[in-house]
Structure 1
Amino acid sequence: NYVHDSRDMVAWYASLNTFRKNHGVRGRYSIHFMYANKNLVEFNTFEGNAVGMFFMYSQGSLVQNNLVINSDGAFGIGIGLKDSSAFTIKNNTLIYNARGLLLDASPFQPNMPNVFENNQILHNTIGIQFHATQEPSVFKDNDFIGNMQIASNDTPGSKMYLNQWRGNYFDEYESFDIDKDGFGDTPFLHFIYADQLWQYHPNLQFFYGSSIFSVLNFLAKLAPFSEPVKLLQDDKPRMKPVNEQNLARG
């Protein structure tokens, strides 16, 4: 499938296809998959769309070496998965999107984790947004740089603790590497404090980034007035980005 400057591509009930070297510009979805299994999506560029790629009710696809940029509308998404399992998403660059990744009840099937490896998640409003997480995903060797929020969870009761994180680079991480093995000596922990107010109550998103939330977060860290929520823990965070060649885009 070689489609250049396409507005929308749809793959519904369509499995075992290859989408390679497409250029999708200013569409609603560059590619929308539904009930579509074991597809290969690689070397595509999607820019200025509402959504770069969205997968629904699907399994077992490989998504690699794509660039998704400027999906920055109110519901902008670089790559989205809904009720989708056993995906491998690697070597992609997601930059300047409202959400780099949206994971909606994905994985859906037990024992079929989605794996995110060696992706560049750069300068998005939210790096990864989780919704209704009940099964684990694996995040390894990804770079999280310049995102306003590394991760968010909009669903109380989500099982965020099931996700596995290892070897990722976070620009917010502050620690030492005394043994010089390239990994920090302490885990990277990402908590939300007053942030959980806007994540669980969308009407408060208007105030995100405002001085009032900054003050509330600062006070909550000093003397928590509510239990902070841990969104992720990486026990072996990297001290330097995994893959630096794409960082010049930022």
Structure 2
Amino acid sequence: MVAFAAVSLIVLSIDTLPGIANDPRLQWAVDQVVAGWLPILTVVLVASYLRGRRSLGADFGLALRPLDLAIGLLAGILLRFGAVGVAELVRVATGGPPVPFSQSAGSDLGWFLLTSVLAASIVTPVIEELYFRGLVLGALRNAVLGRAALAPGEVPSGASTARVRVAGVVAVLGSAVLFTAFHLEGLPTTSEGVSRLVILFLVGVVLGCLALLTRRLGPSIIAHAVFNVSVAVLALLTPAAPGLS
């Protein structure tokens, strides 16, 4: 976590360089690829090489089975409907105004497909699941169990059922908290911000449970991808507001 945060902060300073600060697309590339994907993937690979079996499958459960497609699809759809329900409940509870979905794909379809479909719905789910549900969740679980470099779902000899359950709960909740913090930009001050906080935590918990119960990342990757791509689908179906591209 410290290594990832340090690398990200250093790289984000690139945003202030002349030629990048005034170019939204170049800035997106720096933020997403250099400050996001690269540090995450680097930390995962280094951890696997130095402390694991040097296999993303053996260390973090990076595997996909046919059943995972069905599990992930169902979980992703339910999470999206749940997100809509949470947003509405928070809005009603706080008395905030309705926030209609107004995002559209814009006029540059190629850029939209690159950022919202390829990047957000294909690459990001794989990399983030490796980090949060693979490395972070596994590290927290191993820390509670008092063992390092355990394979996903592996239980050390002599560990009690209660301790294994506690380790699972701590790992799921801890990884969900870090997942939420990673996606927040400051503390929420509006009903929309509060609902985002709740939704992110809920998504983190569900994805963590999927990874823990199946002992692999296939279901959580598919669910994460479905959850993200649903926004892109809605954007494609929403006409752009007059004067906007």
TM over 0.5: no
Between structures 1 and 2, the one with greater helix share: 2
Higher relative contact order (CA 8 A, sep 6+): 2
TM-score, structure 2 length as denominator? 0.22
Larger radius of gyration: 2
TM-score, structure 1 length as denominator? 0.22
